[in-house]
Structure 1
């Protein structure tokens, strides 16, 4: 199986890099591409939904991004140790009728020796916001390097 650097054990620098790679992948909104960062038998808990394996990841992300338009995500390293990384994140999106939401959450990640994520545990809360409360402004796709992160935005 191909390696997905950086690989564990993580240093602060490699953990920050892994988080940014994950953020960029999710901001691509390409389910098949994103799924390649996970082991073929990866296990997820996303809110109260349980997902197992790459095909279910693709199905989950396809459904998610068909319901959440104008999706923009920022992830930030919270902690790391060995083959585990904890992140906090927020994303903004619109629902099918144009309401804006900001979703806040925490994820715990566990990686195999090749740097593929084998476990993802996500806890997420949604907050309806007005368009004037939005903070994530960049063209769809990866967050530009000069756009503020969560801490800088006060989130």
Structure 2
């Protein structure tokens, strides 16, 4: 059976580990790697997009990182209980024209017993920034 520790139920240490693992994976900008953290039948809401299944997640991430260049993310644990974790995050990226953005958001995660994420609900807002205002160099 495929799985990804740490497994629920989470305590403070394992919730922090899960958040750090997600940050590290997303900063790889490797859709094939990142999508393996989700169940085959994962359900997502990302902004105004609704995705179902690992294949849709992989295609979404390919589109995302083709557009969001030099993407760099920071996540922090907000809350956890049982098989759920809430995080807040910020990330920066630029478009093909060189305009930089910082995105702010929150995610709610629900995990299967094998440690793979079954549900991900993300609310995200973008702010155009000057290159000199970047935090994540």
TM-score (norm 2): 0.99
Structure 1 position 124 matched with structure 2 position 109: no
Structure 1 position 9 matched with structure 2 position 9: yes
**Partner SS for 2:109:** strand
> Pairwise CA RMSD of aligned residues?
0.5
Aligned to 2:94: 94
Structure with a larger share of its residues in helix: 2
1:1-155 matches, within 5 Å, as 1-137=1-137
In 1, the alpha carbon distance for the partners of 2:134 and 2:39 equals 34
**Partner SS for 1:36:** helix
In 1, the alpha carbon distance for the partners of 2:69 and 2:118 equals 27
Number of matched residues?
Answer: 137
Deviations 1:10-66 (A, max 9, x none): 000000000000000000011011000000000000001001111100100000000
In 2, the alpha carbon distance for the partners of 1:128 and 1:3 equals 38
In 1, the alpha carbon distance for the partners of 2:25 and 2:84 equals 19
1:3 Cα deviation (Å)?
1.7
Q: Which segments of structure 1 move beyond 3 Å, counting only runs of 4 or more?
A: none
Structure with a larger share of its residues in strand: 2
TM-score (norm 1): 0.88
1:96 Cα deviation (Å)?
1.6
